[in-house]
Chains A and B, each alone.
Chain A
């Protein structure tokens, strides 16, 4: 049975979530983008070019690797890692930026802008722009510029201009505001490559579709190896693009649990966290209606996570829909649990995960045995942890390494 996640309430709605809550200036650009995207996805030349790049440039398909020592530690006999960390540039983000950059080229737009938190999406965007010889400007909160200095330098090496954002909380949310302001101003020459399944329609479904390759591969790989579907698929959720990417192919498989793991920061009850689905309420930010961390007056509340990529007060609207319909469940792990998982995966499997992905690993370490009798477990290892090594050393009191 196919489960429709898009309803007839309007294009780009997931139940009541999503939509296109934007300044009038952007309406035409979104109409144009929607039409260009529809045309591109039904054009075999476009899909063949993207598939070719994903194979030769990114290195897809990524392995689905059994992780026996992690399984032992979690009390589960069959834990698998979907190795998105092995993609070129070190995370799943490149799947989306290549797709959108190809689309921008098709639309005749040579200037690209992006927002970035941890810097992974910024690096992936800068990489796509270098490949296609496009101008690239990346907005990044001042706080993230400081805690992710390595990625700032990587973007600059790739020819991008990184613009630090000083407004608001000086993190991903504010970088997104600034990218939208740039887009409103330069909309005729510029395409905005949003890095997650957030923003106005068609971004949430377009980014999901570009990331859906993760789940398609995973589903075929687990059927090949295990001869059955997994009991659960586990992924971290900030905006939620790696999670939607791996969930999408399994939404119709009702027996497969879809588990999103949010950042509980210092603990949900401290108020210092980024768990929009657990502790937020529906609201409008960055062009769509979704769960949102906000105060009683409808002002957006600052998020907190040790992981810059999860440090965002909103979440993709399709996740809100999957939560409310019960098709997916969402849990959270704290900074401390994620840091512990970061170390344990390194020692157990020889893989240093991104701090974002470490949240998914932490959930399996904590609750993996619950699935013991029901079949294999798959974790989306969305990125590698090289970018976080200096940050973790600092957080753990080892002082600055670089």
Chain B
């Protein structure tokens, strides 16, 4: 199928005065060869954009849940090639946009230009590189920015306002605001200052702002949906898939969607 663009996915929700729901899963986890099926379930349960993690041996921005999922995915034989195969299989039956979420080294090893071309051909819409902050490698960043994939970038609580604006200007699709300093992983509470911080980031950004890191329950998702254009849920979903099986992922995402839509 032809995928919807990320802008359109956010636009549809915005017109409904609702927030986009962006679930994250690690490709190849919990079992190799089931990722396209899992993504199909998430799309059917109300995901607007899907983040698909490319597993890496040294996920230094991730907490225990995503570390474990990456380790298992690699043990199961997951590679950048098999991740793109899964995207292709998912795309044959769904128009929900996919953002590939990766550390830099596997992409550099694959060849960045080849990766950008192959990811696009497989049916991905966006790319987020955890360890490529603005200004780290201008030439490489420019090649991603000028590709036909949206370049999703992170903004942290430690990022100053002037830099937020520059990051937003060099991004497309949406801006990903990290809800707290730290690694990925479910947390019991959200920080009180989050609302004000998200307001500031949205003021500095002309593209939608999604919030992630630590959002793990339908209640938290609903609370963040009232602040931001999108809500990312990762570790809690990865753990659900691991502990309760493939179908449980879609059930969890449907519960998040219901809570975000007001009941």
Does the CB pair A297–B61 fall under 8 Å? no
Does the CB pair A284–B131 fall under 8 Å? yes
Does the CB pair A185–B131 fall under 8 Å? no
Contact of B56 among A180, A187, A299 (CB under 8 A): A299
Check: A167 CB closer than 8 A to any chain B CB: yes
Does the CB pair B159–A27 fall under 8 Å? yes
Does the CB pair B131–A25 fall under 8 Å? no
Check: B182 CB closer than 8 A to any chain A CB: yes
Check: B207 CB closer than 8 A to any chain A CB: no
Does the CB pair A187–B57 fall under 8 Å? no
Check: B156 CB closer than 8 A to any chain A CB: yes
Contact of B178 among A24, A177, A286 (CB under 8 A): A24
Please give me the residue from chain A that is nearest to B55 by CB atom: A299
Check: A19 CB closer than 8 A to any chain B CB: yes
Does the CB pair B137–A185 fall under 8 Å? no
Neighbouring A residues of B74 by C-beta, 8 Å: 299
Interface string of B114-158 (1 = CB under 8 A from A): 000000000000000011111111100000000000000111111
Does the CB pair A287–B131 fall under 8 Å? yes
Contacts A23-B131, A23-B156; A188 near B181 (Cβ below 8 A) = yes
User: How many angstroms between the C-alpha atoms of A27 and B71 in the bound complex?
Assistant: 27
Interface string of A178-191 (1 = CB under 8 A from B): 00110011111000
Please give me the residue from chain A that is nearest to B137 by CB atom: A19
Check: B193 CB closer than 8 A to any chain A CB: no
Does the CB pair A184–B181 fall under 8 Å? yes
Does the CB pair A298–B58 fall under 8 Å? no
Does the CB pair A24–B155 fall under 8 Å? yes
Neighbouring B residues of A283 by C-beta, 8 Å: 105, 108-109
Most buried by B among A186, A187, A292: A187
Rounded to whole Å, the gap between the CB of B155 and the closest CB of chain A is 6
Residues from 267 to 291 in A contacting B, C-beta threshold 8 Å: 281, 283-287
Check: A294 CB closer than 8 A to any chain B CB: yes
Contacts A184-B61, A283-B109; A23 near B154 (Cβ below 8 A) = yes
Neighbouring B residues of A181 by C-beta, 8 Å: 60-63, 182-183
Neighbouring A residues of B178 by C-beta, 8 Å: 24-25
Report how many residues on chain B are interfacial, defined by Cβ distance under 8 Å. 45
Check: B11 CB closer than 8 A to any chain A CB: no
Check: A371 CB closer than 8 A to any chain B CB: no
Does the CB pair B133–A24 fall under 8 Å? yes
Neighbouring B residues of A319 by C-beta, 8 Å: none
Does the CB pair B133–A23 fall under 8 Å? yes
Please give me the residue from chain A that is nearest to B154 by CB atom: A24
Main secondary structure of the interface of B (DSSP, over half): loop
Rounded to whole Å, the gap between the CB of B251 and the closest CB of chain A is 30
Does the CB pair A22–B105 fall under 8 Å? no
Check: A153 CB closer than 8 A to any chain B CB: no
Check: B79 CB closer than 8 A to any chain A CB: yes
Check: A173 CB closer than 8 A to any chain B CB: yes
Residues from 174 to 213 in A contacting B, C-beta threshold 8 Å: 174, 176-177, 180-181, 184-188
Neighbouring B residues of A29 by C-beta, 8 Å: 158
Does the CB pair B109–A294 fall under 8 Å? yes
Contact of B60 among A180, A187, A292, A298 (CB under 8 A): A180
Please give me the residue from chain B that is nearest to A299 by CB atom: B57
Does the CB pair B57–A300 fall under 8 Å? yes
Rounded to whole Å, the gap between the CB of A24 and the closest CB of chain B is 4
Does the CB pair A24–B109 fall under 8 Å? no
Neighbouring B residues of A184 by C-beta, 8 Å: 60-61, 181-183
Rounded to whole Å, the gap between the CB of A236 and the closest CB of chain B is 24
Neighbouring A residues of B1 by C-beta, 8 Å: none
User: How many angstroms between the C-alpha atoms of A226 and B63 in the bound complex?
Assistant: 55
Does the CB pair A185–B181 fall under 8 Å? yes
Check: B189 CB closer than 8 A to any chain A CB: no
Neighbouring B residues of A187 by C-beta, 8 Å: 158, 181
Does the CB pair A21–B136 fall under 8 Å? yes
Contacts A185-B183, A298-B80, A300-B105; A23 near B130 (Cβ below 8 A) = yes
Does the CB pair A173–B108 fall under 8 Å? no
Does the CB pair B104–A296 fall under 8 Å? no
Most buried by B among A23, A176, A281, A296: A23
Neighbouring A residues of B79 by C-beta, 8 Å: 297
Residues from 142 to 194 in B contacting A, C-beta threshold 8 Å: 153-160, 163, 167, 178, 181-183
Contacts A27-B159, A28-B158, A300-B58; A21 near B137 (Cβ below 8 A) = yes
Check: A168 CB closer than 8 A to any chain B CB: yes
Does the CB pair A297–B106 fall under 8 Å? yes
Check: A304 CB closer than 8 A to any chain B CB: no
Interface string of B60-72 (1 = CB under 8 A from A): 1111100100010
Check: B31 CB closer than 8 A to any chain A CB: no
Rounded to whole Å, the gap between the CB of B145 and the closest CB of chain A is 16
Check: A82 CB closer than 8 A to any chain B CB: no
Q: Could you list 6 A-B pairs, sorted by A, with CB under 8 Å?
A: A21-B104, A25-B181, A27-B134, A167-B71, A286-B60, A297-B80
- Using A21-B104, A284-B108 as known contacts, list a sample of 18 further A-B pairs with CB atoms less than 8 Å apart, ordered by residue number in A: A10-B138, A21-B131, A23-B154, A24-B155, A24-B167, A168-B57, A168-B58, A181-B62, A184-B61, A281-B109, A283-B109, A284-B105, A294-B109, A297-B79, A298-B56, A299-B74, A300-B57, A300-B58
